[in-house]
Structure 1
Amino acid sequence: MIEARGIVLRAGEDQAWVRVDDQPTGCGRCNEPGGCGGAKIAHAFGKPDEVFHVENPQHFVAGDRVRLQIDDGAALGAAAVTYGVPTLGALLGAGLGTWWAGNTGALTGLVVALIASVLFVRSIGGRRFWRQKLSVRLAADSALCSSTHTETASRHD
């Protein structure tokens, strides 16, 4: 489970805006040989947005300390589908186009298959299964031992 600690900035009926206080804890091997380096890659393009808008079924309130959680492998699975399907589609389209009509067919097949693959990925992205798999969940931050937090956490359990 990938987690990051944060604080609820504001909360609506079933939603919350959470500011991340610390770095997410992924595989924990970012600086080791063989580590995924996901955190380094993410920060290579600038600091990510540290305020997240998430569902709030536990009804946390502003000021509550929480943990944002996402399942292990969810990001890898999303990347595999997002990049893998169009890549395979483009290669398959180019191969079939070449077989069907030579070089001109290769380019046409590549473009048509790439567009179809991207549309397919976009269409499955909105489906309930993918939204649940990639959803960020909130949990009370049990690492804090203050009496205020204990009272707040007991409200949500």
Structure 2
Amino acid sequence: MMQARAEVLRAEHGRVWLKLTDRAGGCGRCDEPGGCHSVQISHVFGPPQGEFVLPASIPLSPGDRVLISVPDGAPLNAALVSYGLGTLLLLVGAAAGSLIAPEGGGDLHAVAGGAAGLALAWTLNRVLTRSRNWRSHLRLELAPDASCMQSPQASR
């Protein structure tokens, strides 16, 4: 399970605004000598904001620290469906358009078939994002950050 720590900025109407407190990046050696600096690719369009909104599954207050958990495989599954489905249907649509094209009109039909494939992929992705079953596999979970909680003995 992938996890990240965050701080609650505000909580209202069953939603919680969070700011990541963990340093984003792969191995954590990005800026060290010998590091690959690969995290810089994620900053092409500006630095990440690190703030986002999630449904509040537990009672939280501003300043609380939480642990956000993402089930194993969820990001890969979401990427495969989002990008893989679009790529597959684009290629299938282009191939189908080429096959049904009359002599000399293959390119135009391939473009039309590819566009139809992309439109179908977009529609299917929209349907999936509304599917409660699909979203349940991608759900982010919030839990109090145990490393920030005081033990009963420490508070005495």
Structure 1 unmatched ranges of 5 or more? 32-36, 152-157
Higher helix share: 1
Q: Residue 147 of structure 2 corresponds to which residue in structure 1?
A: 143
* RMSD (Å) for aligned C-alpha atoms: 2.7
Q: How far apart, in 2, do the equivalents of 1:117 and 1:85 lie?
A: 6
2:35 matched residue in structure 1 = none
Contact 1:8–1:18 under 8 Å retained in 2:
yes
C-alpha separation between the residues in 1 aligned to 2:29 and 2:129? 28
Residues 25 and 129 of structure 1, relative CA distance in 2, 3 Å threshold? farther
After the TM superposition, which residues 1-157 of structure 1 pair with which residues of structure 2 at under 5 Å, given as runs? 1-24=1-24, 28=27, 39=39, 41-101=41-101, 102-146=106-150
Q: Which has the larger radius of gyration?
A: 2
Please give the TM-score of this superposition, normalised by the length of structure 2: 0.77
Change (3 A) 1:127 1:49: farther
The TM-score, its normalising length taken from structure 1, stands at 0.76
Secondary structure at 2:52's aligned position in 1?
A: strand
**3-state secondary structure, aligned to 2:7:** strand
Report sequence identity in percent: 34
Aligned residues: 144
Instruction: Find the aligned partners of 1:117 and 1:99 in 2 and give their Cα distance.
Output: 20
